[in-house]
Chain A
Amino acid sequence: MNLPHWLADWLGNPSFLLSLLSGAVGAVWALSEVMGEFKTETPRALRTAGAWLLVAVNFLAAAVIFRLTVELVPNARGWPTALFIGFAWPTVFRNLSLKLTQPISATDSEAPAIRLEQAYSNVQRLALQLINSVLTRQRMRLLNRVMQFNLADLERYARRMSAISPQQINQEFIDKVMQRPVDDDAKKAHLVALLMDNFTRDAIDDFLKENRNRELRS
């Protein structure tokens, strides 16, 4: 296969490959942040634009810092530096504050500065909001689908899941939900939340598959 000329040039350039290495390590940090935040929801979170925004920012930042470093210190060009910068990006560079002026008065702490930590925190917050918003909408859609099914079927399923799983749901809580003086939809919402919380959304997917033919007519 013939690669485009520009791509062949890039791939033949060791500095470019080392930048990719540095960026890849930065991206792994971003993935670990997503995993830490979303735990069992990580696979779904990774299918959102917010997650890739975070990965891209970390990738680019680490790669750009590596490029800057090798431009300033040509002898630093090598895989150890690329790895080091990738690993050091979240712990060292991301927490930097670049003061633009140094006020004479020692009490003036509001000097203009580029606070990378603040900038990254804003990106991170935006990414989390984007991910949360998508995941929440997905859960809502799932709940709306479950609303079309019989409450008794859902209750039976929740009790069965609780009985066969080592991660048991408190049966008393299911009893309390069923005894609440609220309508069936509210009870279904509680049971769905309980199932999703204890057995992830896959449990609801299984319920929907299992009861495909028992859907209520709305």
Chain B
Amino acid sequence: MSESPLLQTRLIELAQQLTELQRRILQALKDKGPGLLLEVAVRVLKFPEDVYEPLRELQVNSLVETQNVRGGQFGSELYSLTADGDRVVRLLNDPAFIREIRIAAPAAPDPRRQEVELLNKLGDVAKEKGELDKAVDYYQQALSIARDLGVEGSGK
């Protein structure tokens, strides 16, 4: 059956908005079939409390559905992919689609660069307060991280 363009657009948008964990959950459901909360969590090497909310969001977006079962320790709802969820997984496995997402979303800033900036600012504050030893310490830390980043950058 051919998909309506509207549905296709909605699925593309959903796929773009998914977090890394949600993508891994969808892929795990596709690869290993339906699972209870604990099973789904273990498949992505997380704990139930880590995957509960992401799963709820997937359910709200109709990518995942549940079936009530008596699961005891494993949970009481069996999670499985919906037809839309299956389509989204196929999209996520399409290299062209992934390339498109990466171009659309610029890479997140490197936290270590932010750390360098913050250390420099702390150094400035310490200098203004007349605590020169402390300031030198902050600047040296910033310098050390900046050098590491430089080495990694030139090694690429």
Contacts and interface: CB of A to CB of B under 8 A. Distances in A.
B45 A170 contact: yes
Given A39-B32, A117-B1, A176-B47, 14 more contacts: A37-B33, A128-B80, A133-B67, A136-B36, A136-B71, A140-B70, A140-B71, A140-B72, A140-B74, A143-B72, A173-B45, A186-B73, A193-B41, A197-B43
Interface string B76-90: 001010000000000
A69 to B, nearest CB: 23
B39 A193 contact: yes
Contacts of A197: 32, 39, 42-43
Contacts of A17: none
Category for how many chain B residues contact A: 20 to 34
Given A95-B1, A132-B69, A136-B36, A189 B45 contact: no
A193 B42 contact: yes
B69 A185 contact: no
Rank and list the top 5 A-B pairs by shortest CB-CB distance, nearest first.
Answer: A189-B73, A193-B42, A136-B69, A173-B45, A194-B42
Interface of A: 37-39, 41, 95, 117, 128-129, 132-133, 136-137, 139-140, 143-144, 147, 170, 173, 176, 180, 185-186, 189-190, 193-194, 196-197
Interface string B101-136: 000000000000000000000000000000000000
11 contacts: A41-B33, A117-B1, A136-B36, A143-B72, A143-B73, A144-B72, A190-B38, A190-B47, A193-B39, A194-B42, A196-B39
Nearest to A39: B33
A137 B45 CA distance: 23
Contacts of A95: 1
B32 A133 contact: no
Nearest to B42: A193
Pick the most buried of A136, A137, A143, A170: most chain B CB atoms within 10 A of its CB.
A136
A41 B33 CA distance: 9
Interface in B24-78: 31-34, 36, 38-39, 41-43, 45, 47, 67, 69-74, 78
A17 B74 CA distance: 47
A137 B73 contact: no
Contacts of B71: 136, 140
A189 B33 contact: no
Given A39-B32, A133-B69, A136-B69, A193 B74 contact: yes
Contacts of A144: 72
A139 B104 CA distance: 43
A140 B72 CA distance: 7
A193 B73 CA distance: 10
A16 to B, nearest CB: 33
A197 to B, nearest CB: 5
A128 B83 CA distance: 13
Contact of A189 (B31, B74, B80): B74
B26 to A, nearest CB: 15
